[in-house]
Structure 1
Amino acid sequence: MGPSRAELVLVAELAAEAERYDDVVSQIKTIVAEFDARLVNDERNLLSIAYKNKTNTLRNSWRIVDTLEKMQASRTAPGTTTRQLALIRQQRKKIERELANVCKDIVKLLEKQLLPAARYGEERVFYSKMRGDYYRYLAEFAHEVEREWYAEESLNAYKHAYKHAMQTLDSGHPTRLGLALNFAVFYHDVRKSPERACHLAKSSFDGRSYAVMSLDSEAPTIRDSLQILQLLKDDLVLWSKEIQ
């Protein structure tokens, strides 16, 4: 007899505390395979945290190596490739492969199992937003045709999530606000359109901040909403300066 669902969740929680995110993913995948693809809130959050940490580490590594590669390339005579530059490029491509594998892994889980089983409302918005996020990460470092395909998949996922959120979630709900923030980042970082990013962020920010701030700021969901609203405000300031 294998471990119970509660035991699998306990091990996943311990793994998250120990920052062993591969183990978290393994436990949640076992729950999906052996029990139910309809995860409860705690299970869903554990999965989200695990993939977020796995990809954040790799994305940060990629940015560092990409910057070093550009610096080395600027020092290298045109038409030549130094040994150092070749090694840096080799490392960047290795990180890209690892990052692509992680992103494709969660996208596959979302598309094949989690989204088809998702309940109407927040759960569907949450998973559709995740799908948009990981296609966005793939688009960030992909090249040419592949980049455009990932960007289009990300856009479609965000649009689906946003439409569903507008129909089912309160305007101050943290999942809806988090979606608006990431969708705006997509327009800024992937589509290179600070105008559209500002429009989306502003439409989500206006009228909601006052409604949220008038509520009990000690409630966990209200704290989450306030944090996201602050991020929206910070991005609006930065992007508005770019437009000016």
Structure 2
Amino acid sequence: MNGKLKLNGIPSTPSVFDSLPPIGLGELRQMDISLSRLDCLFLAKIADQAERYHDVVAQLKDIISDNNAQLTIDERNLLSIAYKNLTANLRASWRTIDALQKKEALSSTRQQVKLMRVQKDLIEKDLDKVCRDIVDLLEKYLIPAASDGEEKVFYAKMRGDYYRYLAELTRLNSREELGKRSLEAYKSAYRHALATLPPTHPTRLGLALNFAVYFHDIMRSPERACHLAKHAFDEAVMAASADSNATFANLEDALMILQLMRDDLILWHGEISKVRFAD
């Protein structure tokens, strides 16, 4: 074609840019093309839409580093969503392998059992890495820089959640230590929530729900889980009923958490009843 491209039948000279490879974000930084905070947030949102959660985290870590660990609500929520998705996928994978191990235990060969254990160990290592990454970010930067009130409760709750995930999967002596750290984080968050947030606040309700799950899943105590969840549920309902003009902050989120709390209460009460009936 003699170096010519045709567009609608008309010969055209190819641009020099047509032969250049795409430029990555790392290359942009090396070329001293600076990215503003809004640029990083935009890239994080695009990565979130594309389900590229490691990229979301990378952009938000840059924002944390450049802004003294001060995140806006949008940035904070994106960080939470990214780590939640990263760990949710790994936890689901772990449960799948765990269920297969139990289901196929008698029919599997020794080699197959060993291979399933290897796959499970790989997942555990990946999950451990992600959980410790966010815990490190929270303990070193986000919690110390958080303002009193909802922000501090939000981050302390996250710390409790990810220590709980670590405690769920480990079979080592560290399980007890990880459980203690999760309990410490939840207690600290809950004390602060009771002092600074109304009973109907979604962050306080979400904390109460996850704290109750801790008692059920880690402490193996459905009684304590029910006590905490019911207390938080009743307080929220009473607070809303006491003032007919009261409106929930983020009403939809609050109602969704209350529904989840109600579902868990029904489930846990059923477990307690079965144990009592068996005794």
Q: TM-score range, shorter-chain basis?
A: over 0.9
Equivalent of 1:106 in 134, 138, 150: 134
User: Does the aligned pair in 2 maintain the 1:173–1:225 contact within 8 Å?
Assistant: yes
Q: Quick check: 1:209–1:226 contact (8 Å CA) kept in 2?
A: no
CA distance in 2, matches of 1:120, 1:243: 37
Q: C-alpha distance in 2, partners of 1:220/1:206? A: 17
2:232 corresponds to 1:204:
yes
Q: Is structure 2 residue 237 aligned with structure 1 residue 237?
A: no
Indicate the residue corresponding to 1:69 in structure 2.
101
The equivalent residue for 2:199 is 171
2:200/2:249 contact within 8 Å kept: no
- Higher share in helix: 1
Question: Structure 1: 5+ residue runs without aligned partners?
Answer: none
Please report the RMSD computed on the Cα atoms of aligned residues, expressed in angstroms. Answer: 1.6
Give the corresponding residue for 1:136. Answer: 164
Q: Give the whole-Å Cα distance in 1 for the aligned partners of 2:197 and 2:153.
A: 9
> What's the counterpart of residue 49 of structure 1?
81
Measured in 2, the distance between the counterparts of 1:167 and 1:210 equals 17
Aligned to 1:28: 60
Q: Measure, in 1, the Cα distance between the counterparts of 2:208 and 2:158.
A: 12
Work out which structure has the larger RCO, using CA pairs closer than 8 Å and 6 or more positions apart in sequence.
Answer: 1
Q: Tell me the secondary structure at the aligned position of residue 206 of structure 1.
A: helix
Percent of pairs identical after alignment? 55
Amino acid across the alignment from 1:89: R
Q: Give the whole-Å Cα distance in 1 for the aligned partners of 2:87 and 2:50.
A: 17
Q: Shift of the alpha carbon at 1:210?
A: 5.4
For residue 209 of structure 1, report the CA deviation from its aligned partner: 2.6
- How do 1:156-167 and structure 2 match up within 5 A? 156-167=184-195
CA contact (8 A) 1:128 1:158 kept: yes
- The separation in 2 between residues aligned to 1:155 and 1:35, in whole angstroms, is 30
Q: What code does the residue aligned with 2:252 have?
A: R
Q: Call closer, same or farther: CA 1:12–1:212 in 2, change over 3 Å.
A: farther
Q: How far is 1:62 from its partner?
A: 0.1
Give the TM-score normalised by the residue count of structure 2. Answer: 0.82
| C-alpha separation in 2, matches of 1:165 and 1:144 | 32
Deviations 1:44-68 (A, max 9, x none): 0000000000000000000000111
CA distance, structure 1, for counterparts of residue 246 and residue 236 of structure 2 = 14
Pairwise CA distance, 1:73: 2.3
Counterpart code for 1:38: Q
* Structure 1 residue corresponding to 2:250, chosen from 201, 221, 229: 221
What displacement does 1:205 show? 0.5
Give the count of matched residue pairs.
Answer: 239
Structure 1 or 2, whichever has the larger Rg, is: 2
Cα offset, 1:215, TM superposition: 6.2
1:225 is matched by which residue type in structure 2?
A
Counterpart residue identity of residue 119, structure 1: S
In structure 2, stretches of 5+ residues that fail to align are 1-32, 274-279
The worse-fitting range, judged by mean Cα deviation, of 124-133 and 205-214 is 205-214
Tell whether the 8 Å contact from 1:139 to 1:190 is kept in structure 2 after alignment: yes
- C-alpha distance in 1 between matches for 2:246 and 2:253: 12
Amino acid at match of 1:182: N
Task: Name the counterpart of 1:145.
Answer: 173
Task: Supply the distance in 1 between the matched residues of 2:147 and 2:240 (Cα, whole angstroms).
Answer: 25
Residues 91 and 39 of structure 1, relative CA distance in 2, 3 Å threshold: same
CA contact (8 A) 2:202 2:249 kept: no
How much does 1:82 deviate? 1.4
* Equivalent of 2:218 in 180, 183, 190: 190
